[in-house]
């Protein structure tokens, strides 16, 4: 065993000198590690940490959950800001808010002394029954990538590593440890890869977490093709791959994980037990060159996050600040989605009301607990009831009796328990519990001015009662300030601008993953027979009317779309075309609109979606104000993945440019022609 170096000796080594480049520091430190020390660095300990190498002054690298607020322990001794769920943040369709969120949550990670956040989760919404739908962003690959890029950039701007998860096709919780996702190469390339690829190539993500499940017969943590060939060689990923917690349990061998490119096994050594690593190495099952590459990737991120640097030179952390709490409220305000507003019952006029009823199981429900890795311990949580009590104090009486109230607000929905929205389990049923349906129907009979506000992280069937109530709003899990955000929207201080990042089906059988048990939940295998036809792509192709379409959300004002124009009707090669459209707020109050651009290939040699999202802009306008919205598209936006040539292909011909307020509300259309 080599002697431990003194503090003075350590400080004089090149890898301890921040004046050297990251790569120079990595190479210097790697050259000083023994084989045994490399084995030691390959697996974690104490749940959230890597093992220290005291001889060389290598401290433990700390990583913590979660996607909606940093969590250090399970007792709640360390409190942190509880931000809205990822699906709520995605409903803002606002990349700037995603970047602000990334910065804020990284500051909280820094404040608790860690170097990496185990987030964001960006698995595609394949089924509304997935227990972690609330923790992921969307069903659409374009929206997914456009929102993950600013999150990762925001986190890493504070020299905290983002760990993008779960690579890949971790789209259900049932049998998640053993299920084999049988998925086509085209579906991987067009649906499941884009956000991960963008996180690597456009945001320079420093870590990727491998998934529990198998992908086409091989577990994610030992998938040489996906990790070594696609992620690292093809996409140029220079960070490190970490296993999901205990995801290596069922992998075939120590060497398969090492050779695939798994740098770090968490939370403890199993496949990467030193004796197993030594035996495999001695038997020639992996080379030190391959091991060195894995270790270099981990060391690189340690240096990028400042693990070896003077803490005074690093970005300063902060936690539970008013700024972060205000951001949580802002995300909730923009993420809540108004689904129905018959008779313009909302916004409520405080001057014209004397009594409102606030009822339902979720009216005073705190949502920070449960949900697995999404569990948070905030210093407080403003529930819907608390928010309304504060807003109405001294002005409007709040009662639990709908019959004699001016308006009745029912807070229905789900919570973070087994069989609802929680890690480790998929939902038991698609509809609300029967007692909630009974409550809605009873309340409507007593009070025609009934507003249903859904607190849930995934689509829920509303077909049984939707026609009976005039107003429905989706509040998701809106974080620690959701009560204040809801009150602001209900009383018109804020105009709703959230849009659905996922299709709401009328019936579960309408969803592409629910054609048969083969496609969900599967047994040993789950077959992605729908291919690229996920979400609205499937509903469009089968001409199925959803309950609410992708991209849908109402406002208290109205918007006129006009004057669609192109700067060229034909493009070829790598040329770009600029598309502009005028949007006018034609209503009586200020509001924000998400202008969406879809592309339709009119004639194709293979089956393609009816339309695909390829652009969006969120704009805020005062009454009567007009804005000119601009999009730029090119060859790649018109292409599809050709499995025969294993490459992206753009065919000559005409394409429709569709501009709308949702995937089913197309306001304007024009054509362009692509010439090879």
Q: Give the CATH number for residue 78.
A: 3.20.20.300
Contact present, 65 and 119 (Cβ < 8 Å): yes
SS (H, E, C) 133-190: HHHCCCCCHHHHHHHHHHHHHHHHCCCCEEEEEEECCCCCCCCCCCCEEECCHHHHHH
Q: What pLDDT digit, counting tens, does each position of 298-330 carry?
A: 999 999 999 999 999 999 999 999 999 999 999
Q: Is 391 left (phi over 0), alpha (psi -120 to 50) or beta?
A: alpha
Q: Which of 154, 164, 66 is nearest to 112 (CA)?
A: 66
Q: What is the mean pLDDT of residues 20-38?
A: 97
| Residue 534 forms part of a structural domain | yes
319 located within any domain: no
Instruction: Give the domain extent around 221.
Output: 34-171+178-313
* Residues 606, 468 share a domain: no
Cis peptide before 120 (omega within 30 of 0): yes
| One domain, residues 398 and 518 | yes
pLDDT tens readout for residues 404-421: 999 999 999 999 999 999
pLDDT recorded at residue 676: 87
In a domain, 321, yes or no: no
- Strand, coil or helix: 116: strand
DSSP state of 395: T
Contact 594, 617 (CB under 8 A): yes
Domain count, the chain: 3
In angstroms, rounded to a whole number, what is the distance separating the alpha carbons of residues 422 and 173? 9
**What residues contact 73, with CB distance under 8 A and at least 6 apart?**
none
Is 0.75 surpassed by the pTM of this model? Answer: yes
Q: Is residue 100 part of a domain?
A: yes
**322 CB-near residues (< 8 Å, 6+ apart):** none
pLDDT at 270 over 80: yes
More confident residue, 676 or 556: 556
Strands 653-662 and 665-675: antiparallel
* Number of Cβ within a 10 Å radius of residue 236: 11
Give 227's strand partners: none
Q: Is 229 found in the same domain as 350?
A: no
Q: What is the pLDDT of residue 10?
A: 86
Are residues 595 and 463 both part of a single domain? Answer: no
Per-residue pLDDT of 571-587, as tens digits, reads 999 999 999 999 999 99
Whether 406 is a known active-site residue: answer no
Residue 9's pLDDT is what? 80
Considering the domain architecture, whether residues 39 and 83 belong to the same structural domain is answered as: yes
122 pLDDT band (50/70/90 cuts)? very high
472 and 348 within one domain: yes
Q: What are the tokens at 16?
A: 């301890």
Q: Angle at Cα 368 formed by Cα 363 and Cα 371, nearest 5°?
A: 110
Q: With respect to residue 20, please indicate whether it lies within any of the assigned structural domains.
A: no
- Give the model's pLDDT for residue 18: 93
Please give the average per-residue pLDDT across 632-658, as a whole number: 97
Integer Cα distance of 492 and 507 in angstroms: 32
Same domain, 494 and 563: no
Residue 283 has pLDDT above 90, yes or no: yes
4 versus 610: which is more confidently predicted? Answer: 610
The residue-averaged pLDDT of 195-218 equals 98
Instruction: Provide the 3-class DSSP secondary structure of residue 650.
Output: coil
Residues 6+ apart with CB under 8 A from 124: 136, 138, 139, 141, 144, 171, 191, 192, 195, 534
On whether both 152 and 285 belong to a single domain, the answer is yes
The reply to whether 481 and 396 lie within a common domain is: yes
Backbone angles phi, psi at 482, to 5 degrees: -60, -35
The answer as to whether 116 is a domain residue is yes
Q: What is the CATH number of the domain that holds 436?
A: 3.40.50.1700
Asked if 282 and 367 sit in the same domain, the reply is no
Instruction: Report yes or no: 549 and 499 within 8 Å, Cβ to Cβ.
Output: no
**Strand order through the sheet with 214-215:** 218-219, 214-215, 180-182, 525-527
pLDDT in tens, 334-392: 999 999 999 999 999 999 999 999 999 999 999 999 889 999 999 999 999 999 999 99
User: Are 286 and 255 a contacting pair, CB within 8 Å?
Assistant: yes
d(CA 320, CA 329): 13
Catalytic residue among 28, 65, 73, 244: 244
Q: Which of 256, 285, 313 is the endpoint of a domain?
A: 313
- What's the pLDDT at 6? 81
> How far apart, in whole angstroms, are the C-alpha atoms of residue 83 and residue 221?
30
Compute the average pLDDT of residues 82-109.
Answer: 98
Q: Residue 11 to residues 26, 34, 115, 303, 309: CA-CA distances in angstroms?
A: 15, 20, 21, 15, 10
Residue 1 has pLDDT above 60, yes or no: no
Task: Tell me, yes or no, whether 348 and 437 share the same domain.
Answer: yes
> Does pLDDT of 7 surpass 90?
no
For residue 552, being part of any structural domain is answered with no
Quick one: pLDDT at residue 46? 85
Picking from 118, 123, 113, the residue whose alpha carbon sits closest to that of residue 69 is: 118
Contacts of 9 (CB under 8 A, 6+ apart): none
SS3 277: helix
My answer on whether 249 and 340 are in the same domain is no
Asked if residue 548 is part of any domain, the answer here is no
**CA 423 – CA 387 distance, rounded (Å):** 28
DSSP for 425-474 reads B--S-SBPPHHHHHHHHHHHHH-SSEEEEEE-SS--B-TTTGGG-SEEEE
pLDDT for res 100? 98
Report the mean per-residue pLDDT for the chain: 97
Give the strands of the sheet with 626-634, arranged side by side: 559-566, 576-585, 626-634
SS3 helix, strand, coil % of the chain, rounded to 5?
A: 30, 25, 45
Which of 247, 282, 313 delimits the end of a domain? Answer: 313
Which residues lie below 8 Å from residue 152, measured CB to CB, with a gap of 6+? 102, 120, 162, 164, 199, 203, 204, 205
Residues contacting 287, CB < 8 A, separation 6+: none
Among candidate residues 478, 507, 541, the one where a domain is terminated: 541
């Amino acid at each position: 065993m080599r002697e431990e170096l003194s503090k003075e000796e350590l400080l004089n080594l090149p890898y301890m000198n921040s004046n050297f480049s990251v790569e120079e520091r990595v190479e210097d430190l790697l050259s000083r590690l023994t084989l045994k020390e490399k084995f030691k660095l390959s697996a974690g300990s104490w749940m959230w940490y890597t093992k220290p190498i005291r001889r060389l002054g290598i401290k433990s690298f700390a990583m913590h959950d979660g996607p909606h607020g940093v969590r250090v322990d399970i007792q709640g001794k360390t409190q942190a800001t509880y931000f809205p769920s990822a699906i709520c943040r995605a409903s803002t369709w606002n990349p700037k808010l995603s970047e602000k969120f990334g910065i804020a949550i990284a500051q909280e990670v820094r404040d608790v002394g860690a170097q990496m956040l185990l987030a964001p989760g960006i698995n595609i919404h394949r089924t509304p029954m997935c227990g972690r739908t609330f923790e992921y962003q969307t069903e659409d690959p374009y929206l997914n990538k456009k929102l993950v890029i600013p999150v990762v950039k925001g986190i890493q701007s504070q020299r905290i590593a983002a760990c993008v998860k779960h690579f890949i096709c971790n789209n259900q919780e049932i049998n998640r440890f053993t299920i084999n996702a049988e998925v086509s190469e085209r579906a991987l390339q067009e649906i499941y890869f884009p956000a991960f690829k963008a996180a690597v190539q456009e945001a320079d993500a420093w870590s990727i977490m491998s998934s529990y499940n198998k992908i086409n017969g091989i577990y994610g943590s030992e998938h040489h093709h996906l990790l070594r060939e696609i992620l690292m060689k093809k996409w140029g990923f220079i960070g490190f791959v970490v296993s999901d917690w205990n995801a290596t349990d069922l992998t075939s061998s120590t060497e398969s994980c090492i050779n695939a490119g798994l740098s770090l096994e968490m939370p403890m050594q199993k496949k990467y037990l030193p004796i197993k690593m030594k035996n495999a190495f001695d038997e020639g099952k992996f080379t030190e060159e391959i091991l060195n590459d894995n270790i270099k990737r981990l060391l690189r991120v340690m240096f990028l996050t400042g693990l070896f640097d003077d803490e005074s030179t690093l970005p300063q952390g902060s936690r539970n600040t008013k700024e972060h709490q205000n951001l949580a409220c802002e995300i909730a305000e923009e993420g809540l989605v108004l689904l129905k507003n018959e008779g313009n019952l909302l916004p409520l006029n405080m001057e014209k009301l004397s009594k409102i009823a606030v009822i339902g199981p979720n009216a005073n429900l705190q949502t920070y607990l449960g949900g697995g890795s999404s569990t948070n311990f905030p210093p407080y949580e403003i529930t819907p009831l608390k928010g309304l009590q504060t807003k109405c104090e001294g002005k409007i009486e709040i009662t639990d009796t709908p019959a004699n109230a001016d308006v009745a607000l029912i807070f229905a929905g789900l919570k973070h328990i087994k069989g609802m929205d929680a890690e480790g389990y998929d939902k038991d049923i698609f509809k609300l519990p029967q007692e909630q349906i009974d409550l809605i129907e009873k309340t409507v009979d007593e009070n025609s001015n009934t507003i249903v506000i859904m607190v849930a992280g995934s689509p829920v069937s509303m077909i049984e009662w939707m026609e009976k109530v005039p107003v429905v709003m989706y509040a998701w899990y809106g974080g620690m300030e959701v009560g204040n955000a809801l009150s602001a929207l209900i009383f018109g201080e804020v105009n709703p601008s959230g849009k659905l990042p996922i299709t709401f089906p009328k019936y579960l059988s309408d969803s592409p993953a629910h054609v048969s048990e083969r496609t969900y939940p599967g047994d040993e295998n789950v077959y992605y027979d729908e291919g690229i036809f996920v979400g609205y792509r499937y509903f469009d192709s089968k001409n199925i009317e959803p309950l609410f379409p992708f991209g849908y959300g109402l406002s208290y004002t109205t918007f006129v779309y006009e004057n669609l124009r192109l700067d060229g009707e034909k493009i070829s090669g790598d040329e770009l075309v600029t598309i502009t459209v005028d949007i006018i707020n034609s209503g009586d109050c200020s509001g924000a609109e998400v202008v969406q651009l879809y592309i339709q290939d009119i004639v194709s040699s293979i089956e393609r979606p009816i339309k695909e999202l390829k652009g969006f802009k969120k704009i805020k306008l005062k009454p009567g104000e007009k804005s000119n919205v601009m999009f730029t598209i090119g060859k790649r936006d018109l292409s599809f993945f050709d499995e025969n040539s294993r490459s992206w292909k753009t065919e000559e011909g005409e394409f429709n440019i569709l501009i709308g307020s949702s995937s089913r509300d197309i306001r304007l259309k024009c054509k362009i022609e692509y010439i090879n």
